[in-house]
């Protein structure tokens, strides 16, 4: 019997809930569960089960297919990403089905591309980056590891956003960062 495709989302906050929904809507995951430090006091969020806390993920390895760190804090997301790597857990990328992503774009592991985003030709998005709702990235742009483009960010073509950068909602980037 084939194992169900189960995604473990690290972080049961606002971004985590959005990632869980996008994962299910993408059709790539049959089930989404959470790891969060509110467990065991809290066992569900928005209809999803919280099955462990972050430092006990190794106890649920047989129950999951892959995982993704889903927290807005860039440093914490990076820490959780490396935790998953150290445990040899496959790291998922989640793309909302309403996002438009060029076939020439290179998307790293642990990236989230949320609803209504546009990712243009030859864009490179490195590991752990968040491209939040309604953001657009034009051609030949580089988004560094664990960068976070908040809601509605616009990046014109041929720009570089450094690793661990945070761009606030509505930012328009027309120069190098």
Annotated binding site for substrate: 72
- What pLDDT score was predicted for residue 176? 63
Across 80-101, average pLDDT: 98
Q: How many domains does the chain have?
A: 2
Number of neighbouring beta carbons within 10 Å of residue 88 = 7
Sign of CA dihedral 80, 85, 86, 88: positive
Containing structural domain, residue 85: 6-92
Residue percentage of the chain with pLDDT more than 70: 97
- pTM, two decimal places: 0.95
> Residue 41's domain is classified under what CATH number?
3.40.50.20
Long-range CB pairs of 83-88 (<8 Å, 24+ gap) are 83/54, 83/57, 84/10, 84/57, 84/110, 87/57, 87/58, 87/61
pLDDT higher than 90, residue 146: yes
Annotated binding site for acetyl-CoA: 148
Confidence band (pLDDT; 50, 70, 90) for 175? confident
Residue positions annotated with a catalytic role: 139
Annotated binding site: 72, 148
Domain boundary among 92, 123, 142: 92
45 and 66 together in one domain: yes
């Amino acid at each position: 019997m084939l194992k169900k495709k189960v995604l473990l989302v690290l972080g049961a906050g606002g971004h985590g809930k959005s990632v869980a929904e996008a994962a299910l809507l993408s059709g790539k995951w049959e089930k989404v569960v959470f790891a969060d430090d509110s467990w065991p006091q809290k066992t569900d969020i928005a209809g999803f089960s919280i099955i462990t806390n972050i430092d006990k993920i190794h106890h649920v390895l047989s129950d999951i297919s892959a995982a993704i760190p889903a927290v807005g804090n860039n440093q914490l997301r990076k820490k959780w990403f490396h935790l998953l790597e150290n445990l040899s857990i496959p790291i998922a990328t989640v793309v909302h089905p309403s996002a438009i992503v060029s076939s020439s774009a290179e998307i790293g592991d642990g990236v989230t591309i949320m609803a209504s985003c546009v990712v243009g030709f030859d864009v490179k998005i490195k590991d752990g980056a968040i491209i939040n709702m309604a953001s657009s990235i034009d051609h030949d742009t580089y988004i560094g590891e664990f960068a976070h483009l908040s809601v509605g960010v616009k990046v014109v073509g041929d720009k570089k956003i450094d690793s661990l950068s945070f761009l606030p909602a509505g930012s328009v980037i027309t120069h190098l960062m």
